[in-house]
Structure 1
């Protein structure tokens, strides 16, 4: 067996697209993606437009709204300073609308995602992504290029963050396309680099708006940071699991 490249330091899922993610101690990865990932969308209630923080300033505060799944897989959301509220629900819609300054609604992509929900659905704005993996080595490379910036993993919305020693002058996982990885019992194929968008520059809790984040990725890594992986063998992954080449 090959030597470990690093160990899992963070695990994330994003129950509602564009809202803040949920940091977990373990995740279950199915044949396509993390269980519970991206089940709901936030829309402008006036026209059904789905939130696009990367493109429209009216959505820039959306990543400040937290989202989580309860043990029975029900969505809850919380605006800054507010309590956790069930969603989809008129009360949570009202809280989110008040925070954003216009009428919005949280809607599931499928009725299977929200037991008992009878309202309208929304459509995912892009195809469901596979597993998004990011190494701290790449974050360290970005920090070296942009010392005044904060390359917090939350800017990039990974599922798996692997703690790994920096590789001088390199965003290492971007160079691994086509290789296979074992992350604990999970087996992955690295399919493609993750091309970054304007979401990466938006302020979140703990860091400010920063165009230099994306500017340096465009200049030094062809817009990319992290990789998308397809699942060869589903498994449960926990913090501390080793990552190796297969």
Structure 2
């Protein structure tokens, strides 16, 4: 077992495609971070599909957080801050109407339980992780500052030995954080979502072009949960 770094930031997204919240500690559940993508907007124009940044880039500028303590029986109230600074409750009809106008489609809010979130809501796997060294190297390749939130990771890792893209060599191995364990499953193939600036909502296709050309479209690593447990910022991370 080898220490490879520390957990620099934990980011969960209570609402799918909204900007996430940084938390100091939370639980790793069977499906991933507690409450991650637990609240979604269903696309009524495409039965069985979700509304995401792909259909509505403005969603990247909405911020969602749990306004209360983690509870495995029932989620705390979800609070949403719009790009205009208006604070909504998740159940506010005004939030739904605003997003219908932005997305130009009929939508329906839906939420899952703390015990289960389906695969589709969680993207490709339970957890997405990104390292600080890889973000810095991509900044050099692209030629500008990058807010790592563009990549929507759950775990942001500070490496002891800052080797860019070393996480791609971990596939098939496990990471231990406290009592929790993850298995590294696959590379994350990037799409247009990373072209959307989470602050301004503006698109810049050049970042995706750089990732395609320099990293064969991949950035970050997907992992599945092998052992649940509490995790917190600052904990050491071990490669098994």
> Where does structure 2 lack aligned partners over 5 or more consecutive residues?
69-74
> Is the contact between residue 188 and residue 233 of structure 1 (CA under 8 Å) also seen in structure 2?
yes
CA deviations over 1:183-222 (Å, ceiling 9, x no partner): 2332111111111111001121168532222112111222
Q: Quick one: distance in 2 between partners of 1:239 and 1:126?
A: 22
Moved more, 127-136 or 34-43: 127-136
Aligned CA distance change for structure 1 residues 153 and 63 (closer, same or farther; 3 Å): same
Tell me what 1:229 maps to.
Answer: 223
Tell me what 1:201 maps to.
Answer: 195
What is the 5 A alignment of 1:22-101?
22-43=21-42, 50-54=50-54, 56=55, 59-71=56-68, 72-97=75-100, 100=102
1:154 CA drift (Å): 0.6
1:109 CA drift (Å): 4.4
Aligned CA distance change for structure 1 residues 68 and 104 (closer, same or farther; 3 Å): farther
Q: Quick one: distance in 2 between partners of 1:102 and 1:138?
A: 36
- Secondary structure of the structure 1 residue equivalent to 2:52: coil
1:127 CA drift (Å): 5.6
Aligned residue pairs: how many? Answer: 229
1:15 CA drift (Å): 1.1
Q: Quick one: distance in 1 between partners of 2:91 and 2:124?
A: 21
> Is the contact between residue 26 and residue 230 of structure 2 (CA under 8 Å) also seen in structure 1?
yes
- Secondary structure of the structure 1 residue equivalent to 2:207: helix
> Where does structure 1 lack aligned partners over 5 or more consecutive residues?
114-122
Tell me what 1:166 maps to.
Answer: 162
Q: What TM-score comes out, normalization by structure 1 length? A: 0.82
> Is the contact between residue 171 and residue 221 of structure 1 (CA under 8 Å) also seen in structure 2?
no
Q: Quick one: distance in 2 between partners of 1:136 and 1:126?
A: 23
Q: Quick one: distance in 1 between partners of 2:59 and 2:46?
A: 18
Aligned CA distance change for structure 1 residues 101 and 39 (closer, same or farther; 3 Å): closer
> Is the contact between residue 13 and residue 23 of structure 1 (CA under 8 Å) also seen in structure 2?
yes
Q: Quick one: distance in 2 between partners of 1:46 and 1:211?
A: 27
RMSD after superposition: 2.6
Tell me what 1:135 maps to.
Answer: 131
> Is the contact between residue 41 and residue 124 of structure 1 (CA under 8 Å) also seen in structure 2?
no
Q: What TM-score comes out, normalization by structure 2 length? A: 0.84
Tell me what 2:71 maps to.
Answer: none
Tell me what 2:211 maps to.
Answer: 217
